Amino acid sequence: MSGPRVDAKVVMLGKESVGKTSLVERYVHQRFLVGPYQNTIGAAFVAKSVQVRDKVVTLGIWDTAGSERYEAMSRIYYRGAKAAIVCYDLTDSSSFLRAKFWVKELQNCEEHCKIYLCGTKTDLIEADRSARQVDYHDVQDFADEIKAQYFETSSKTGRSVEDLFRKVAADYISTTFEVMSEERGVNLEQKKDPFFYSCCHN
């Protein structure tokens, strides 16, 4: 991979057992671990570089523990994050309420963090439609309200996992370079402004 390198902190948030770790495992290692569920303690970190057009972005992903016991700790991990992937399990309506809690928290405390809603375990719904507990249109309305992107993924089959992280990387790159060019624009304008010069020389 070649091109300018940028880095973005990404945080995974959501109720315990919604599948945050599995999502990261699928994205970073292209695998789905079967066996007894092991809850995350504190948080885990992993980095992955992605090429988006001529640029490379390294996503530093913090996978937080979903257990409410670790809630205070999760707050440490979203500080300074450029993106938050707020997960809920499509087969568990209570996990969507918990996702809304995290969204409110981010809106209040981390206003520059872009939010991505992620409904997990679509394979379970594909196997049995009646398993769905979170209505697609409810999420759509909520996503519109908070101006967030939303995805429905399966770490088991891999569905939409790559799309989700690719979107995070692409948005980060476009926002970062937009800001940089805006800043450059401001500097040029300032130099052309005679008032600016007289101010500085007095």
Nearest to ligand GTP by Cβ — which residue? Answer: 66
Q: How far is the CB of 66 from ligand GTP (least distance, A)?
A: 3
Per CB under 6 A, does 98 bind ligand GTP?
no
Per CB under 6 A, does 74 bind ligand GTP?
no
Whose tokens are 């979170």? That residue is: 134
The contacts of residue 183 (CB under 8 Å, 6+ apart) are none
The contacts of residue 157 (CB under 8 Å, 6+ apart) are 122, 123
Two structure tokens written together for 136:
């697609």
Which is nearer to ligand GTP, 20 or 55 (by Cβ)?
A: 20
Q: How far is the CB of 82 from ligand GTP (least distance, A)?
A: 21
Q: How far is the CB of 7 from ligand GTP (least distance, A)?
A: 23
Whose tokens are 């490379």? That residue is: 56
Binding mask 140-169 for ligand GTP (x = CB under 6 A): --------------xxx-------------
| CA–CA gap between residue 14 and residue 19 (Å, rounded) | 9
Output Rg (C-alpha) for the chain, integer angstroms: 20
Q: How far is the CB of 158 from ligand GTP (least distance, A)?
A: 9
Which is nearer to ligand GTP, 44 or 170 (by Cβ)?
A: 44
Sheet containing strand 83-89, strands side by side: 43-52, 55-64, 5-14, 83-89, 114-120, 149-152
User: How many H-runs (helices) and E-runs (strands) does the chain carry?
Assistant: 7, 6
Q: How far is the CB of 166 from ligand GTP (least distance, A)?
A: 18
> Which residues ranging from 32 to 51 are in contact with ligand GTP (CB under 6 A)?
37, 39-40
Given the rule CB under 6 A, which residues bind ligand GTP?
14, 16-22, 37, 39-40, 65-67, 120-121, 123-124, 154-156
